[in-house]
A and B are shown apart, each in its own frame.
Chain A
């Protein structure tokens, strides 16, 4: 009669521990999210409470925090900030953010080029 090997028992215990967490795998976040989605929420649902100036302030603070933590800001973040600058008529800053989005995430190139071309006309 053989005793169960330590290895075998360890595997069983590990499987047990994993299994108890249930049916969803919580994944680590890839980005520094800050207030990105919260500002989007506020812009639509309670716009009077968070004008574009205030949203930009929150996002720029988030950017500093992301830099300090050496994490990336999420996809779409720079384009969103650019769109806020555009709303305030700050076209140079808007253009810079759209270019940064394109550089950080090449998947955005077609859309960013279109927005940059529209910016040129305005």
Chain B
């Protein structure tokens, strides 16, 4: 008695679902996105609701790569930050109040990525420590104010158990003395959180025009 391929597929799918540790999440409704697909994204410095004072810029410096690698033009985050500061918006909170029509007319952005850090940093205990990055993201169309996409990620790493080697290997050699993974492990965990935030199947950020997967949905 042979096994039909179709049942093999079913069994494999079930097993891989278990092994992959997939949470079943409802697929994101991309209809707003399909109506107004952006080419360019203005990433604003994140609102920081955590207790870590460096959170805003520690996290901001990890967002360009995943969004640009999704195929979008990402405005230079540090230049934008400086520009907005010189134009009367000294804090991330004030920057996130920027009128959408100004983001379109002054900067030429098709969409703005609003980020909020809910948690950012490490909790040290006697024998243990855990580093947490929790971030919320909202991508808004500058011309219609439509919410194009939103996402959420919560990543927790215990460097003592598993993450130490991973964290160290993520630090680029040229600046390894400058970026100290021990004092700012949240910066490293940010990159893992961003994988969850932007690349998760059925809920992640769609692919933009510079991506070979343009017009595909995660």
Contacts and interface: CB of A to CB of B under 8 A. Distances in A.
Q: Chain A CB within 10 Å — which of B68, B72, B78, B218 has the most?
A: B78
Interface in B95-132: 105-108, 110
A24 B69 CA distance: 14
Nearest to A39: B175
Given A4-B8, A41-B57, A41-B58, A25 B64 contact: no
Interface string A14-35: 0110111111111111110101
A79 B42 CA distance: 14
A76 B77 contact: yes
Contact of A8 (B5, B21, B175, B195): B5
Interface residues of B, number: 65
Contacts of B76: 75-77, 79-80, 83, 101
A40 interface: yes
B22 interface: yes
Interface in A97-122: 101, 105, 107-111, 114-115
B58 A45 contact: yes
A5 B71 CA distance: 39
A110 B8 contact: no
B13 A74 contact: no
A18 B15 CA distance: 12
Given A46-B178, A110-B107, A40 B61 contact: yes
A27 B201 contact: no
Contacts of A44: 54, 57-58, 60-61, 78
Contact of A12 (B12, B20, B54, B69): B12
Interface string B170-214: 001011001100001001000000011001110010000011010
Contacts, number: 186
Interface string B50-87: 00001001101110110011111111111110110000
A21 B6 CA distance: 21
A88 interface: no
B57 A45 contact: yes
Interface string A50-94: 100000001000000000000000111101100100000000000
Interface of A is mostly: helix
B40 interface: yes
Given A12-B5, A37-B61, A40-B61, 19 more contacts: A12-B8, A15-B16, A16-B12, A16-B15, A16-B16, A21-B20, A23-B201, A26-B199, A37-B65, A38-B175, A39-B175, A42-B175, A44-B57, A45-B57, A74-B64, A75-B76, A76-B64, A107-B108, A109-B108
Q: Closest 3 CB pairs between A and B?
A: A19-B16, A8-B5, A110-B108
Interface of B: 1-6, 8-9, 12-13, 15-17, 19-23, 39-40, 54, 57-58, 60-62, 64-65, 68-80, 82-83, 105-108, 110, 172, 174-175, 178-179, 184, 187, 195-196, 199-201, 204, 210-211, 213, 218
Interface of A: 1-5, 8-9, 11-13, 15-16, 18-31, 33, 35-46, 49-50, 58, 74-77, 79-80, 83, 101, 105, 107-111, 114-115
